[in-house]
Structure 1
Amino acid sequence: MNLLIMGLPGAGKGTQAAKIVDKFHVAHISTGDMFRAAMANQTEMGVLAKSYIDKGELVPDEVTNGIVKERLAQDDIKAHGFLLDGYPRTIEQAHALDETLASLGIELEGVINIQVDPASLLERLSGRIIHKETGETFHKVFNPPAGDYNEEDYYQREDDKPETVKRRLDVNIAQGEPIIEHYRAKGLVHDIEGNQEIDTVFADIEKVLTKLQ
């Protein structure tokens, strides 16, 4: 099976990706792993990517697309299929992926789209607080400190502040919607309700993938 998994930050994509790989034995291709492997193996695109990263610059799309193509051309993909996680991030990358798959003679069979209400993701992602003295991490809603704690004893990282999280979600929604619609038009998207217990979410995914096998 050749699959994509999509979902907003905090939707549980990473957890479900690991379960899919474990159950269906497809190759898990995450953007970060791909870049690290390409640079470690000094592939043509890996060397090029490193030259940008070393200068503190963003890696251009054509290099990212090239690294994806190198990875999808490897033997384990032909044997077991893949689950692509974290790519494509833009509609331009989605079009590039279409071209890559066509050139390799690979057919995309499904897009798992984990849907969670952005408001609940905002609560989930912006609730982390850290104790100033001990560095211990808590969550205001899901794992609060014991008793009536004093908020002044805790701080939030910039990344965890509601306004930062909301900006990140807004950017992801704006980038992700055209990609979902692109694949929806091809009849590939399977929407999964992500606001459930982890095992229930996976049971829903499993039903979809069993039919695709």
Structure 2
Amino acid sequence: MDATTKPLRIPPEMSVYAEENKVFDILQKMVGNLLVDRPEDPIQYLIDHLRNDNDEIPRIFLLGPPASGKHTMMWTLLLLAPQAKLVCKHLNATHLTPEDLLSNDGPLLAKEALSYRDKGQEIPNGLWAKLIQERLLKVDCKKRGWVLEGFPQTREQALMLQMTGTAPDHVVVLDAPDTVLIERNMGKRMDCSTGEVYHTTFDWPDDPEVQINLVEPEGISEEETGQRLLEYHRNIPGILRTFTKICKKINADQPCMDVFSQVLTFVLSRARTVAPHTPRVLLYGPPGCGRSLQAALLAQKYDIVNVCCGQVLKEAVADQTKLGALMKPYIESELQVPDNLVLKILARHLSRLDCATYGWVLHGFPRDTDQAGALNYAGFHPNRVFFLDIPDDAAMERVSLCVTDPVSGERYHSIYKPAPRIEVHDRLQQNPKDCEQKVQERLDIYHANAEELEEFYQDVIHVNADQDPYTVFEFIESCIVKPIPKRAPEKPMSP
């Protein structure tokens, strides 16, 4: 940073590093935890926080009425989806329930809580909060994250958890009509010898010996289920008010894998960060996909710099710069400009104050992984990469039927924007680059490099560009203003 010139210019590398490593979010999380925990040695606390490296682990509350599918083991069935176990397996998180916390071999707090239950008394909310806090401090929860199922059950419990510093990142509420829930619950049967749960309608065992051992669990009658549902409906509005910004209701009255997919999509989403964000957008696609139009729309709405590689090169030649003079023979001969010259021109352009301050949308470069690697090596890392996808026949139709009026410079299309008058139509000319043969060559180059470029940029966002341009723009815009979802681990670690 040069402190002798005004305005102060922060090198682009600093903002790229801060954004890629989430420096702002790390500091925000550390300060928040510091204020909640208030340790005696703040410096050592912050050092330990950084060593734990657990800011990205899942912290989830999974709530819902009885028989909504939170815990049922028969996960392959339509109405009995064990969302908690599926989510935990996919995220490699620790699955917790109030029953697990009250196990007989648990800590002293668990035994104290059991003493209340043995006397027929309600376990105090403060004791529940301490019990949960103590469990979440265990190594498995701190390293792998956790999904707490069926708790809190009241607003008071939710507030008590917040007061002790137990705060989830996502709250999932499974919901279904009461008639469906009562039917699910009343059909449950349990094998006393194994503890397996079956259902009279959806999962009746074939083995006659197993059928003989099945009994009706306690508390599943219509009256008892209705009473539990009534209590749930009385408490859930207060719980939802406690977690307004991180809560999502999901309809559990649908196939289990559909429910699971929606739950997983939500828990992998990131909360919108307040960190400074400089858009660095890369648009890539075949000829005719609409990159120039989308870049212009983004630049117009968000006041970022529209960087068209071809236009930047032409401007350098027109300005008669040294690099422009070196490129002029290539451009006049319609030959490809060497990558090192293109990169030097682009680097100067992207390093300008307006690009570093407001951000940029780049299109026309890179075209292959060598160019992409050179761009990254120069310090210009896009934080959003969009592939605008259209079929080859649509690309051919869009480009090969384009013509230009040499008098007015207006561009027309034989199908979508025909010439308004016959005299205009008679003088229209086609750019030699837009003939079918040239377009097919450009398509072949695109297909030869698209797969490798997608591997190079790991977080590529595919866009269906074969639709209305403003519909395409709305999708691109939504992906720019929202954080990129977290990646789930490919292979869950063994507990």
Q: TM-score range by the shorter chain?
A: 0.7 to 0.9
Q: Report the alpha carbon displacement of residue 203 of structure 1 after superposing the two structures with TM.
A: 0.9
Corresponding position of 1:199: 470
Of the candidates 461, 477, 489, which is equivalent to residue 190 of structure 1?
A: 461
Judged with a 3 Å threshold, the aligned counterparts in structure 2 of structure 1 residues 141 and 98 are, in CA distance, closer, same or farther, namely same
User: How do residues 50-199 of structure 1 correspond to structure 2 at under 5 angstroms?
Assistant: 50=328, 52-53=330-331, 58-101=336-379, 106-128=380-402, 139=413, 141-142=415-416, 159-183=433-457, 186-187=458-459, 189-199=460-470
Q: Structure 2: which 5+ residue stretches go unaligned? A: 1-278, 405-409, 421-427, 485-495
Which structure has the larger Rg over C-alpha atoms?
A: 2
Per-residue CA deviations over 1:163-209 (Å, capped at 9, x if unaligned) read: 443233122222333223311xx32x111111111111111111111
Distance 2:411 2:327 in 1: 34
**Higher relative contact order (CA closer than 8 Å, sequence separation 6+):** 1
Per-residue CA deviations over 1:142-168 (Å, capped at 9, x if unaligned) read: 45799xxxxxxx997754444443233
Q: Report the alpha carbon displacement of residue 59 of structure 1 after superposing the two structures with TM.
A: 2.2
Q: Structure 1: which 5+ residue stretches go unaligned? A: 131-135, 147-153
Does the CA-based 8 Å contact 2:305-2:354 persist in structure 1? yes
Is residue 277 of structure 2 the alignment partner of residue 21 of structure 1? Answer: no
Does the CA-based 8 Å contact 2:389-2:462 persist in structure 1? yes
Distance 1:34 1:123 in 2: 27
Q: Report the alpha carbon displacement of residue 40 of structure 1 after superposing the two structures with TM.
A: 4.3
Alignment identity in percent?
Answer: 30
Per-residue CA deviations over 1:70-98 (Å, capped at 9, x if unaligned) read: 11221112111111110112221111001
Does the CA-based 8 Å contact 1:109-1:212 persist in structure 2? no
Q: CA RMSD in A?
A: 3.2
Does the CA-based 8 Å contact 2:285-2:291 persist in structure 1? yes
Judged with a 3 Å threshold, the aligned counterparts in structure 2 of structure 1 residues 198 and 72 are, in CA distance, closer, same or farther, namely same
- Size of the alignment, in residue pairs? 194
Corresponding position of 1:7: 285
Q: Report the alpha carbon displacement of residue 9 of structure 1 after superposing the two structures with TM.
A: 0.8
Does the CA-based 8 Å contact 2:402-2:430 persist in structure 1? yes
Q: Could you say what secondary structure the match of 2:378 adopts? A: helix
Distance 2:296 2:411 in 1: 24
Indicate the structure with greater helix content.
1
Distance 1:81 1:212 in 2: 16
Letter in 2 for 1:12: G
TM-score, normalised with respect to structure 2: 0.35
Q: Report the alpha carbon displacement of residue 124 of structure 1 after superposing the two structures with TM.
A: 2.8
Judged with a 3 Å threshold, the aligned counterparts in structure 2 of structure 1 residues 207 and 61 are, in CA distance, closer, same or farther, namely same
Q: Could you say what secondary structure the match of 1:113 adopts? A: strand
Judged with a 3 Å threshold, the aligned counterparts in structure 2 of structure 1 residues 16 and 58 are, in CA distance, closer, same or farther, namely closer
Off by >6 Å, runs of 4+ in structure 1: 154-157
